Structure formats: C-alpha cells, structure tokens
Amino acid sequence: MPHRLPADLHCPRIQTTPGGPELSRIVAGMWRMTEWGMTVDQRVAFIEQCLALGVTTFDHADIYGSYGVEALFGEALGRKPSLRDQMQLVSKCGIKLVAPQRPQHAIQHYDTSAGHIIASAEESLRQLQTDRLDLLLIHRPDPLMHFDEVAEAFSLLRKSGKVLHFGVSNFSRHQFDSLNRRIQLATNQVELSPLHTAPMFDETLDGLQDLGVTPMAWSPLGGGRLFNGTDAAADKLRLVIKDIADHIGQPFASVVFAWIMQLPSRPIPLTGSGRIEAIAVAVAGTGFTLERGDWFKILRAARGHEVA
C-alpha cells in the first residue's frame, strides 16, 4: 500500500557555502528529459509542479540527451519566461561527445580549455533561453586541465554576468582543493548512494565538510538498482531499507534520500525522474531524520561488514 505524503510537502533551501548559491534541498535532475516524451506544455507543467514543491533547482549539462535536453527545457522557459526568476539553473561543461549534433567531434574527450568553457556556457545560455546560469560545473576532471586557465575562464564568465557561481563534478579532494585555491567553488557533484559509498571514505566528503562546502549527490538511488537490481548487494540493501521504511512509516526512497542528507557535509541529492510523484517522495526525505542505529544498519548492509 503506498504511503500517504504530507499535504503541505515543501522542500527547504540550503546555501552551498558562504557567499555561494542557495539551492533547493532536492534538485531536479534533467539528464533524462529527452526520454520523457513530454510536449512543451507538459514540460511547463512539470516545472511548475516542481516549483510548487519547493524544488527550485534544475540540473543540466550541455551533453545531456546528446546535446538535446537544454533546448527542451529552454523551449519551456520560452513558453513561460516568468518561471526563470523562480529557479536556479545548473549546467556542466567539459566533455565533448561524438554525436550527430557535433559532427566535428572525432573522438569523445575532455576539454577544459578556457575557450571551450566560455563557448559551452554561452551555448547553454542560448539553449536554455536565459541570460545567466546560477551555477556552472566542470563535468569531469581532465588530465590536461590547467587550474589557472579554468579559474581565468570562470572569472571572465562571472565578470560578464553570464555565470554567477562555479563548481565541479566528480573531482577528488585534491583536485577540488587545487582549483578552489584559485577561485571559490560552490560544490562538487559526486556519485553517492547506499550502493556507492566511496566518497564517505576517500576524503571527498570530509574535505568538503572541512571547507564548509555542500556537495551535490548524483544517482542517489543507484540508477534504479535499489529498486530493481538483481545482484546480491542490491537485494540485501533493499531488504534492510524496506524494513526501516516500514518500521518508521516512510516511503522507501524517502528513507534513502534522508540517509544521504544526514551526512554532516549536507549533500544535496538529485532526482532523475520526470514523474512528479517521485520528486515528491524525495522531498519527503527532507522532513525526518533517521535514528543513528537505523542509519548504520543501511551502511552495514551497503558495505557488507560491521564498522569495527
């Protein structure tokens, strides 16, 4: 039997770092939007429903949907421009895909040169039909990345008013610190779920907590594996989380989101669904805290052993 969600469900907001952007505690991830089959009016309605829940932050990347998602979202903003001032737009750059939309790309590769960062940001603005990004992230660490050049590109985008804040995605602690010394970073968006706990133990989250920087967490449900994975790890976790969810009377996914957000670095999870019901369940996870024992039951199941 489905859980009844509170009628007054509303997502709070959180500042990622002093002087940084204020994002909703749950972020709507748009990377699958090309798969949702929505008309432009349905996309407008979906955005409005997210905003009504307090989910005001929308996560993009130039490459999502093979360079197609930002245009779909921008078409919705073009249909109803008043929505723009009610939200925060996040995008990423630094990966060049081989795609029909980019015939000049002969090989998939990273590009964190200043020219590419600036051109990508400006193209995202055109596709999203907006004059500014609230947050721009380097999508992946690039072996040819020159920290000073990236910082200079960020500075130029900030001076022009095209991007308000900057961050990274999938960076190690040292990579984050190296760029953060040159220009203030607002976040590091990393993979984090009960099925991927590495950032808890490789200094990524510890380092961000130490700096007072809030991470963003992609794939918090393990790409759906927590629901439908048939491997032993997913099976074991599913049973433990379901038992806790049933005991405290909360939806399964809400427990997972609450578990992630309970970490002291205050991770901000991303959703990946076009169903407003799934986003509401994520928002419900902001409304309760797990008992410490229950939190560690999930960690024990995730790691397959006791803490000591």
pLDDT of residue 95: 96
Closest C-alpha to 93, from 65, 61, 70: 61
Residues 6 or more apart whose Cβ sits within 8 Å of residue 49: 276, 279
| Per-domain residue ranges of the chain | 13-303
As a whole number, the mean pLDDT across the chain is 96
pLDDT of residue 101: 83
pLDDT of residue 1: 46
Residue 22's SS3 state is strand
Residues 6 or more apart whose Cβ sits within 8 Å of residue 16: 22, 23, 165, 167, 186, 187, 213, 214, 268
First to last CA, the chain: 37
Please tell me whether the overall predicted TM-score, pTM, comes out greater than 0.95 for this model: yes
pLDDT of residue 2: 60
Q: Where are the alpha helices (DSSP H) in 68-107?
A: 69-79
Residues 6 or more apart whose Cβ sits within 8 Å of residue 277: none
With beta carbons less than 8 A apart as the criterion, state whether 188 and 169 touch.
yes
What would the pLDDT profile of 145-190 be if each residue is shown by its tens digit?
Answer: 999 999 999 999 999 999 999 999 999 999 999 999 999 999 999 9
Closest C-alpha to 285, from 53, 29, 45: 53
pLDDT of residue 80: 98
Class level of CATH domain 13-303? alpha beta
Per DSSP, the residues of 239-280 read: HHHHHHHHHHT--HHHHHHHHHHTSTT--EEEE--S-HHHHH
What would the pLDDT profile of 196-241 be if each residue is shown by its tens digit?
Answer: 999 999 999 999 999 999 999 999 999 999 999 889 889 999 999 9
Closest C-alpha to 72, from 82, 58, 93, 86: 58
Where in the sequence numbering do the catalytic residues fall? 64
pLDDT of residue 263: 98
Which residues does residue 163 pair with via DSSP β-bridges, in sequence order? 133
Question: Which residues of the chain, if any, have pLDDT below 70?
Answer: 1-2
pLDDT of residue 139: 98
